[in-house]
Amino acid sequence: MRMAYVNGEFVPLAEARVSVLDRGFLFADGVYEVVPVLEGRLVDSGAHLARLARSLGEIGLECPVPLAELPALLAELVRRDGVAEGLVYLQVTRGPAEREFGFPADAQPSLVMFTQARSVLANPKARTGVDVITIPDIRWARRDIKSVGLLAQVLAKQAAADAGAGDAWMVEDGLITEGSSSNAFIVTVDGTVVTRRADRTILSGVTRKAVLALAAEHGLSVEERGFSVEEAKGAAEAFLTSATAFVLPVVSIDGSKISQGVPGPLTRRLRDLYIEFVRAEM
């Protein structure tokens, strides 16, 4: 029986409840994190919780549980659900209050967590790669905050599904920002790993940060800059990173093959290096 953590209690997932007046439900007034699970253990939880703390600070919200206690709660939920591989989702909202736009004076923040089992290491897309489409980036200007307001990303995911693609890369002012739930990378013909600089226009991915560090550590050239759709189509390789996909090859963009249309050697190497890294950190 799957469990959830809701405001201090572990309860069966089917019985988990929050108020209809919760500001996360009414206003998307909250933030979230996704922590991967591998071999029954949390992956890079310190980096994920540091990003959670930043997101909370950016919207003036306090976690109802001290952040130092979250790893034990996450691990306990993983243990109770028996998740060997997958993720833990946690969400903090400003809590229930009468529906008014301004911050309520008396609302108590809400913390909800649940797990999802899924294949991470044996993901078949790591062998075949994924196709992506490009769409206009219609999101708000503070993409650095991991907000629960994800309607634009939902529409992007559905557009990709409707097109038979694995993901959508979003475009603003002629440059790719990021994927619907991932960071976008290319590898130039001279072997340079390129991804957009982490500012307010994208979410600074935890996996993104680790992959960049691993690339530099192993002598690869790295650039943090914008790149156009046309540059991406003409790249030697392309890939995406996320907490639960790790590193996935991108083999076509808008129907145009990337190089030979198969996962490239540098992408495969970076995926292997990242898996070695997370296993060493567990």
Residues contacting residue 90 through CB under 8 Å, at least 6 positions apart: 32, 33, 34, 35, 52, 70, 74, 111, 112, 113
Residue type, 163: A
Q: Based on C-alpha coordinates, what's the Rg of the chain?
A: 19
Spatial separation of the C-alpha atoms in residues 235 and 94, rounded to whole Å: 44
CATH of domain 125-281: 3.20.10.10
- So what's the pLDDT on residue 202? 98
- So what's the pLDDT on residue 217? 97
Domains 3-117 and 125-281 share a fold: no
Q: Which of 146, 157, 209, 233 is catalytic?
A: 146
- For 120-129, letters b (16+ CB in 10 Å) and e give beebebbeeb
| Helix axes 45-58 and 70-81, enclosed angle (nearest 10) | 120
> Does residue 169 sit in helix, strand or coil?
strand
- So what's the pLDDT on residue 123? 92
Residue 146 a catalytic site member: yes
- So what's the pLDDT on residue 281? 83
Q: Across the 282 residues of the chain, what is the mean pLDDT of every consecutive 10-residue run?
A: 97 97 98 97 96 98 96 98 98 97 95 96 94 98 98 98 98 98 98 98 97 97 98 98 97 98 98 95 81
Which of 166, 185, 20 shows the shortest CA–CA distance to 98? Answer: 20
- So what's the pLDDT on residue 282? 79
CATH top-level class of 3-117: alpha beta
What residue segments make up the domains of the chain, in order of their start? 3-117, 125-281
